[in-house]
Structure 1
């Protein structure tokens, strides 16, 4: 029977993007691949299907077809989703069987721990796609396998650190925020725990990871009970083919075209982070005081005091504020010389893959350790220092921009960024480590020897 892969993902943009790119990589092996998330997620996908898209799409209902507010409804939504999801996905899989296109393997991402049980009940093999760095998987694995007390104890002594296999020493501020009681989303940790419990039911489970071998060689081999394989970076293939950029037209691209090489600071804090009015003002002040050109993505939800800030920026003639842009397209533009980022894993891998140094301003989840790796391991950026109130002052942002974009330190970071860009392209290219891992996964499923 020819393989038919079903790729399932949680309905958040940070989950959809890497899962969608993995699905397309998998489809590139010549097998049938169906991509599936909730009806709402399919309606708002930033990359609509094209006529030559190799994927099929199969949205399923979750009771929230008009969407939901994660901050206000997160716990209720996840509870409802965990009830509706298994029923909807089971029905979806059965419908494919009735149509003569049975699913032969299910791949699922974070916050969908119930998928493993659904697949087991239907007699279908499944595999997890970990969309954060391998280092974070290692941390959670040890946390849920006897190291929770020692990891949690770092909360009481911020200066102490822990050493886990395959990772550098980590302090409290460098661990995933969900681990600690101060985090605002305790229900997320519960879902991640369920995922690891599902993996524990398998003998040496396979986990596909949005990373590549050269980037996290030690972390990928650090958990002996799990077989991790790097299949990333999971970004659009056009930006991994050695081209400097993809030709498109938009107002912000036209603006970038008028700027000198490596002169523009790109600023974006992702789709979920919301900064205070004070923090937005400090960032604006720091950017303006730096004297550099900048492109700043400010979503409507982040726009506290935004009209005043935008008026000042417009008057300065040094910056452009937009509500959305194609991030990889911007990062790959020759005029961009630095990325001020929250260090979400998608943003981090995109920056690495196109060779742009970073100024890191992590907020929550895995962003803390991502920033640690960028600054201390891959040496492609610096981390902003917050004051006693947790605010990054304008002078600190200005200092970090100078460190990244000027002098010997900036030159060294650019060299390292170029190195990791080349390694990322090599991994994703024909015959590279990630390319081989995706093909090996598909072949094993086809031969029935993967599970």
Structure 2
């Protein structure tokens, strides 16, 4: 099945948007598409490619952009390691990212056909960082990075230079990136899981390697970040990629009213949650959430529950349905009045922006980091995988707006120490909190009418329109 809408006018520059089907990747690119449509002032029209199982993510976007954005729905391609009907990484085991990257390349032929048959074919494509093969569609390809600029710097270094351990088998060996500003360094076990899985000579992994190398060879790069937090890394990317076509357009936040309907099922109505927060003192609530993919182990759930209970703090804890059975018996009764446990999903941006929320215990996914930055909330960091370690280091060591709590997908915090940090996050940490508020003002200024990210967005639109006019 292919759904094509014919609303593209010849006098507009047509752009194709292709998100990667993982919530943390898809949502910021769709929000960026909304900003493109609104800011484009009628000079561009946009097609967003999704598979049938993810079409629902477009509903609000399509209804709010008055025909400037249209869907292209292509069947999800079959793949031996992906069960039929699974179209989102969150439904797959941890290896699902690489399988999904590999599977989606099979959309190359139908997408080429759609481009060649369209009466007003796109002049450019903006596609996710995991979709490097779209560089070979015959369009100017702009990479969209939902990750930080420093992560882009690190990925370029990894996949172009292919560094290895001097002591094979030693996962604690430190890998230092001396060519990147601040010379970031990480133990091997914190380096990209996808990179560590690379097997030289295996066609599957050679494709994965080429995916990231194609990012470096693409026409331009759009990053969900802003100059006040990553200016040094943005400048490095321009030097590293040997062009100035790098646009920092973040923080990309949901349009007003869009945050409340973008998640999944929840056990607590949104108005109930907001009413509960309204009754709390300013800055005295800790928001606890580990993103759309992380599932805490039973030991982690019990340690976290114990730490929350001992801390005496007010909190909202969002926990995935699959981990709910491991919550200690009687916990919710014992914290009645000061704690809410939400099974499933919560409107994170709205919660973080509530005056009662003063701290955020987070896995440090980049979307969560930017949402916390924009909200001026202190971050308590517990990175689990991938670029989350990089994000946590940026938050704590460079920006000074966070405090380390734990790190690692298998680590279990000491509940007494956790309780101490949680309690202190609402009563102390004044320097970090002041920096968080200052950084929030910078983030909101960046996306204001005359802010750096708005200017970058305008420059990107101007560049894309010029490509369309040159056709």
TM-score (norm 2): 0.82
Structure-2 change in CA distance of 1:283 and 1:13 (3 Å): same
Structure-2 change in CA distance of 1:336 and 1:418 (3 Å): same
Matched, 1:320 2:343: no
Kindly report which structure 2 residues correspond to 1:2-401, keeping only aligned pairs within 5 A, or say none: 2-28=12-38, 29-30=40-41, 31-43=44-56, 49-52=62-65, 54-63=68-77, 65=85, 67=87, 69-71=91-93, 74=96, 76-83=99-106, 85-95=107-117, 97-98=118-119, 101-118=120-137, 120=138, 124-146=139-161, 148-149=163-164, 156-158=171-173, 161-172=176-187, 175-181=191-197, 193-202=209-218, 205-223=219-237, 224-226=239-241, 227=244, 228-238=246-256, 250-306=271-327, 308-309=328-329, 311-317=330-336, 318-322=338-342, 323-385=344-406, 390-401=411-422
Distance 1:32 1:152 in 2: 52
Bigger Cα displacement from structure 2, 215-224 vs 49-58: 49-58
SS of match in other structure, 1:267: strand
Q: Deviations over 1:191-248 (max 9, x none)?
A: 663233214445xx42111100111011111131424321111112449xxxxxxxx9
Distance 2:273 2:213 in 1: 46
SS of match in other structure, 1:333: coil
Distance 1:258 1:429 in 2: 31
Matched, 1:420 2:436: no
Aligned 8 A contact 2:223 2:249 in 1: yes
Residue of structure 1 equivalent to 2:456: 437
Q: Deviations over 1:253-272 (max 9, x none)?
A: 11111111111110000010
Residue of structure 1 equivalent to 2:7: none
Instruction: Report how far residue 76 of structure 1 moved.
Output: 4.6
Instruction: Report how far residue 356 of structure 1 moved.
Output: 0.6
Structure-2 change in CA distance of 1:157 and 1:436 (3 Å): same
TM-score (norm 1): 0.86
Structure-2 change in CA distance of 1:336 and 1:212 (3 Å): same
Structure-2 change in CA distance of 1:46 and 1:349 (3 Å): farther
Where in structure 2 are there 5+ consecutive unaligned residues? 1-10, 78-83, 258-268
Instruction: Report how far residue 152 of structure 1 moved.
Output: 8.8
Distance 2:193 2:133 in 1: 23
Bigger Cα displacement from structure 2, 164-173 vs 212-221: 164-173
Aligned 8 A contact 1:385 1:396 in 2: no
Instruction: Report how far residue 45 of structure 1 moved.
Output: 6.0
Aligned 8 A contact 1:265 1:294 in 2: yes
Instruction: Report how far residue 71 of structure 1 moved.
Output: 0.5
Aligned 8 A contact 1:175 1:369 in 2: no
Instruction: Report how far residue 359 of structure 1 moved.
Output: 0.5
Residue of structure 2 equivalent to 1:447: 466
Structure-2 change in CA distance of 1:33 and 1:363 (3 Å): same
Distance 1:435 1:154 in 2: 46
Distance 1:345 1:406 in 2: 26
Two-structure CA RMSD over aligned residues (Å)? 3.1
Instruction: Report how far residue 161 of structure 1 moved.
Output: 4.5
Distance 1:330 1:92 in 2: 41
Structure-2 change in CA distance of 1:327 and 1:46 (3 Å): farther
SS of match in other structure, 1:303: helix
Distance 1:73 1:356 in 2: 33
Where in structure 1 are there 5+ consecutive unaligned residues? 240-247
Distance 2:400 2:276 in 1: 30
Bigger Cα displacement from structure 2, 7-16 vs 142-151: 142-151
SS of match in other structure, 1:363: coil
Aligned 8 A contact 1:314 1:320 in 2: no
Structure-2 change in CA distance of 1:193 and 1:433 (3 Å): farther
Bigger Cα displacement from structure 2, 391-400 vs 66-75: 66-75
SS of match in other structure, 1:58: strand
Distance 1:282 1:141 in 2: 37
SS of match in other structure, 1:214: helix
Distance 1:446 1:52 in 2: 19
Distance 2:279 2:168 in 1: 52
Residue of structure 1 equivalent to 2:5: none
Aligned 8 A contact 1:129 1:207 in 2: yes
Aligned 8 A contact 2:352 2:372 in 1: yes
Aligned 8 A contact 2:129 2:212 in 1: no
